Amino acid sequence: MDTYLTPRQHSSGGKDRLLGISKRGDVYLRTLLIHGARAVFKVAANKDDARSRWLQSLSERRHKNIAVVALANKNARIVWALLTKQTDYQPVEVAGT
């Protein structure tokens, strides 16, 4: 699966800097990821799970569209990890929830 959703990583000193979704690769796949992230963004305000809290916090600091693309990027990374490791999705349990 060579889609170039995240073309490269610029990291140093223990700080990871992962770039966003590039315009290279499959346009239709990027479109689906963005549309899915927009749908999640709309309902995240009414939820209290870890990902919704992360998205709410991000949308307070950045523009809505940037938060949507960040969520699409996060989802793409999760999908890539699931496909390469051939495992099922196991959500992380956060203490106190």
Domain coordinates of the chain in residue numbers?
A: 27-85
What is the model's pLDDT at position 11?
60
What is the model's pLDDT at position 42?
95
User: Taking the model in full, what pTM does it have?
Assistant: 0.71
3 state DSSP class of 15: strand
Contact 7, 24 (CB under 8 A): yes
What is the model's pLDDT at position 2?
45
Query: Mean pLDDT for each 10-residue chunk of the chain (97 residues)?
Result: 49 63 78 94 92 93 92 90 90 61
